[in-house]
């Protein structure tokens, strides 16, 4: 295994994302002797700050400074990467809204293998990298074999790889900007629209009753609202409930919604996609109620109840009311 490993660093306000350390750990699982190279693109002081901070963990940092990369437009980033990456590189990136934009197209332009949303790495055998992915919303896992003789683009599920100890790499920063040149694209970043604030800020609530697809109909939302009211909790939800317009976007927990940090989280009819779980922080006590015993939510919950939420919740509400009398 001689392929060179690169990690594309996502950052914000001059601070590298947690995935920077996770990719370092993943690179060691591909090749324990690997000294992966970080690639950081952007412009200005934020770029410099990230590159400097990465010297602690990465032995080499490729810096690409370019006005056009001030906002991380995946189309432009891809062109910059194609300009600087050696043939047969293995490129790691996070499976995030940015990685989903960048990865598949990059693999086409590098003519390399592509594996997305990878949750574990089993190492390399000859020309093959062995990784683990999930399908069917996390109900089943798969072993996947990637021929990396011409390199690979591997996007990693954020949080799936545990960052190792920082080994004070005292890394070297290499300026790759001259190799990139002028960048243009037919997709132009215009602006970012901040999320609308809701009537309740679920990110600050201590107890959440959270509903998912299992609530089945708009009229049933009231069943969960009653439980929340009785408990003194607030109502939140997973994506399908917002898609169906049964609750506003401000109530959605997940990577494309709110990040919550409650003490207690009661997941009612929520299957537990990784995008949803990514929005639950602070290690709350999680109770999952779902009629499918195979729902991935039971993997992360502290306590599980295999039952239909539409029948279980009203009984729970009634009993709490009685105990309060």
Kindly list the distances between the CA atom of residue 117 and the CA atoms of 70, 89, 256, 292, 302, in Å, as whole numbers in the listed order.
26, 19, 16, 24, 25
User: Closer CB to other proteins, residue 58 or residue 112?
Assistant: 112
Backbone angles phi, psi at 277, to 5 degrees: -60, -30
Asked if residue 73 binds other proteins (CB under 8 A), the reply is: yes
Backbone angles phi, psi at 95, to 5 degrees: -80, 80
User: Closer CB to other proteins, residue 170 or residue 184?
Assistant: 184
Q: How far apart are CA 63 and CA 40, in angstroms?
A: 5
Candidate list 33, 187, 283, 325; residue touching other proteins; CB under 8 A: 187
Distance of closest approach, residue 59 Cβ to other proteins, in angstroms: 28
Asked if residue 266 binds other proteins (CB under 8 A), the reply is: yes
Distance of closest approach, residue 259 Cβ to other proteins, in angstroms: 7
Asked if residue 261 binds other proteins (CB under 8 A), the reply is: no
Kindly list the distances between the CA atom of residue 301 and the CA atoms of 51, 213, 245, 271, in Å, as whole numbers in the listed order.
38, 17, 26, 11
Task: Classify strands 128-135 and 120-125 as parallel, antiparallel or unpaired.
Answer: antiparallel
Phi-psi region of 292 (alpha: psi -120 to 50; beta: other; left: phi over 0): beta
Range 218-237, binding other proteins (CB under 8 A): 231-233
The residues facing 65 across adjacent strands are 42
Distance of closest approach, residue 154 Cβ to other proteins, in angstroms: 10
* Binding characters for other proteins, 145-164, by CB under 8 A (x = yes): xxxx-x-x------------
Asked if residue 260 binds other proteins (CB under 8 A), the reply is: no
Distance of closest approach, residue 89 Cβ to other proteins, in angstroms: 14
User: Closer CB to other proteins, residue 56 or residue 292?
Assistant: 292
- Check residue 252 and report its DSSP letter: B
Total residues binding other proteins (CB under 8 A) = 103
Range 25-54, binding other proteins (CB under 8 A): none
């Amino acid at each position: 295994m001689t392929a060179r490993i690169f990690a594309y660093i996502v950052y914000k306000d001059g601070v590298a994302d947690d995935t920077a350390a996770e990719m370092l750990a993943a690179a060691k699982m591909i090749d324990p002797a690997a000294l992966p190279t970080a690639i950081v693109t952007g412009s200005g002081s934020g770029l410099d700050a990230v590159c400097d901070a990465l010297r602690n963990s990465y032995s080499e940092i490729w810096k690409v400074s370019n006005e056009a990369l001030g906002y991380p437009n995946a189309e432009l980033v891809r062109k910059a990467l194609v300009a600087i990456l050696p043939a047969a590189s293995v490129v790691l990136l996070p499976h995030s809204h940015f990685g989903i934009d960048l990865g598949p197209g990059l693999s086409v332009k590098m003519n390399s293998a592509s594996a997305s949303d990878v949750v574990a790495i089993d190492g390399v055998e000859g020309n093959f990298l062995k990784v683990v992915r999930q399908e069917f919303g996390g109900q089943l896992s798969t072993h996947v074999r990637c021929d990396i003789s011409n390199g690979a683009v591997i996007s990693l599920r954020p949080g799936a790889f545990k960052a190792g100890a920082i080994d004070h790499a005292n890394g070297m920063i290499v300026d790759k900007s001259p190799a990139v040149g002028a960048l243009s694209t037919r997709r132009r970043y215009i602006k970012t629209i901040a999320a609308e604030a809701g009537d309740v800020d679920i990110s600050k609530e201590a107890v959440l009753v959270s509903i998912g697809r299992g609530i089945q109909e708009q009229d049933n939302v009231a069943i969960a609202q009653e439980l929340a009211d009785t408990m003194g909790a607030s109502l939140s939800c997973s994506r399908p409930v917002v898609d169906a317009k049964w609750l506003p976007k401000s109530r959605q927990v997940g990577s494309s919604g709110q990040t919550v940090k409650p003490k207690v989280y009661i997941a009612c009819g929520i299957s537990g996609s990784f995008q949803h779980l990514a929005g639950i922080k602070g290690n709350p006590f999680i109770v999952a109620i779902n009629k499918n015993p195979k729902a991935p939510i039971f993997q992360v919950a502290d306590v599980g109840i295999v039952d239909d939420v539409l029948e279980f919740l009203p009984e729970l509400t009634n009993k709490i009311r009685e105990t309060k009398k």
